[in-house]
Amino acid sequence: MAGDKSVQRVAVITGAGSGIGKGIAERLARKGYRIIAIDCSESVHMVVSSLHEMGHAVEAVVLNVTDESAVRNLVANIVDRYDRLDILVNNAGIHPKINGERASALSLSTEVWNEVLAVNITAPFVFSREAVPAMRRNGWGRIINMSSRAGRMVVGTAGVHYATAKAGMIGMTRVLASEVAPFGITANCIAPGRIETPLTAQGSAEQRTRLVAEIPVGRIGIPDEIGHAVEFLASEESAYITGAVLDVNGGTFMP
């Protein structure tokens, strides 16, 4: 079944209710994938409703990604209904701030630390672990994890909890890629820079002006630009790319 283009591939996207996740869902839906759009917010229903009106195969799931039992049951249900799970995009993430500013490492509570790591790194691990058996059985799969520029360098607006989780996402992806490569499965990271989302909208106009000035291309990115990157990594053409980090940041980080 590997490389079989006669079937409609199933793509699971977390954090699809707004921002980058919404952009990814829209992009992959337009490419003809069956989309399972997951979010903790009811807003995901509006995303799905809009895509339904355009004739796309999309369904909404309201789910707390840190609920391991719920994640396990959801993946099993998807595989039971469609006999496949081809693409997993681990995009859901949180980054609590104070008036748009990061909390300092020395003032950060353990409770908030644990909350951020649970959503931003543990949930992607659980989703990946549960999805791989179906991909392995079908001999094809794509795991795309959303890291961040903050996982590659110190970013003034990124707290230690967020940066740690996003750096951890890169390490997790590389090890996972090495383990699943023999089964026709790739695992890669995308590390966005500043993108127009509800999360990055926090902060003042002055902060925004300062941030834009730091971007060589002179503007903030849009979710569809991340969607294009996901579209490529989810494609047949990306089969020889695994364990990689794709930086999409307007030039603010050039390794």
Catalytic positions are: 162
CA 78, CA 143: separation in Å to the nearest integer?
16
Residue 195 contacts residue 225 (beta carbons within 8 Å): yes
Q: Is 201 helix (H, G, I), strand (E, B) or coil?
A: coil
State phi, psi for 189 to the nearest 5 degrees.
-115, 145
CB atoms within 10 A of CB 157: 17
Residue pair 133/88 in contact by the 8 Å Cβ criterion: no
Using CB atoms within 10 Å of the CB of residue 130, give its burial: 0 to 12 exposed, 13 to 18 middle, 19+ buried: buried
